[in-house]
Chain A
Amino acid sequence: GIQVEQSPPDLILQEGANSTLRCNFSDSVNNLQWFHQNPWGQLINLFYIPSGTKQNGRLSATTVATERYSLLYISSSQTTDSGVYFCAVDPNTGFQKLVFGTGTRLLVSP
């Protein structure tokens, strides 16, 4: 099956810093979604981004489907950005189901 690898696995930032999270996938996909899992376990959908670039406040995401990667940018990080960030891909298998990556654990300190 498809492999979805995220980097870095762990990231510690000072409040106000910027960061880039990467998601690599091993095969073609129909779509890609980015999620934030907060410290209480709630998964929030950040982006639905099969290709191109989208922005939402301090967050933006870019997917280059032909090169099989996606990037999530966090600018001016805040303590509330802490948690685990997952990318999830829908492999081109016809089932339209999401396969989650390994996750990046982010800690933003004040």
Chain B
Amino acid sequence: EAGVAQSPRYKIIEKRQSVAFWCNPISGHATLYWYQQILGQGPKLLIQFQNNGVVDDSQLPKDRFSAERLKGVDSTLKIQPAKLEDSAVYLCASSPDLGEKLFFGSGTQLSVL
């Protein structure tokens, strides 16, 4: 069974530029999550989708971050414009349904210079 796919694996941009990350969850998983992990810390939830609807985006900096899951399958997370403090690993995860076991992708390591 294929796991959670993410791309790109690494991205380096300058501050004020834009960047987008892509995630394809495990087939059949209804719930998709985007987490941000800053070096030395645990992952922090940015946004949670159930099918193509947003369940929770209370910790998403909406002035610069946006995410969509239009067809209830794959998802895109965008940052525009990026700031230095956005340097982190962006992790996508999925679960069969709300409150079930979580599976993570390999993450995208973002460096903002």
* Assembly CA distance A102 to B45 (angstroms): 14
Interface residues on B, range: 20 to 34
Q: When the two chains form the complex, which single residue of A30, A101, A102 contacts B99, counting CB atoms closer than 8 Å?
A: A30
Q: When the two chains form the complex, which single residue of A42, A90, A95, A101 contacts B42, counting CB atoms closer than 8 Å?
A: A101
B44 engages A90 (CB within 8 Å): no
Task: Please give, as numbers and ranges, the residues of chain A lying within 8 Å of B25 by CB-CB distance.
Answer: none
Q: How far is the CB of B106 from chain A (nearest CB, A)?
A: 6
Interface bits B70-113 vs A (CB < 8 Å: 1, else 0): 00000000000000000001010100001111111011010000
A33 engages B102 (CB within 8 Å): yes
Total contacting residues, chain A, CB less than 8 A? 22
A98 engages B106 (CB within 8 Å): no
Q: Is the interface of A mostly helix, strand, loop or mixed?
A: strand
Given contact pairs A42-B106, A103-B42, A48 touches B101 in the complex (Cβ within 8 A): yes
* Assembly CA distance A98 to B48 (angstroms): 10
Task: Please give, as numbers and ranges, the residues of chain B lying within 8 Å of A30 by CB-CB distance.
Answer: 99
Task: Please give, as numbers and ranges, the residues of chain B lying within 8 Å of A14 by CB-CB distance.
Answer: none
Q: How far is the CB of A63 from chain B (nearest CB, A)?
A: 14
Task: Please give, as numbers and ranges, the residues of chain B lying within 8 Å of A95 by CB-CB distance.
Answer: 48, 55-56
Given contact pairs A48-B101, A86-B42, A97 touches B106 in the complex (Cβ within 8 A): no
Interface bits A48-75 vs B (CB < 8 Å: 1, else 0): 1000000000000000000000000000
* Assembly CA distance A42 to B48 (angstroms): 20
8 other contacts beyond A33-B101, A95-B55, with CB at 8 A cut-off? A30-B99, A45-B104, A88-B42, A96-B55, A97-B48, A97-B56, A101-B42, A103-B41
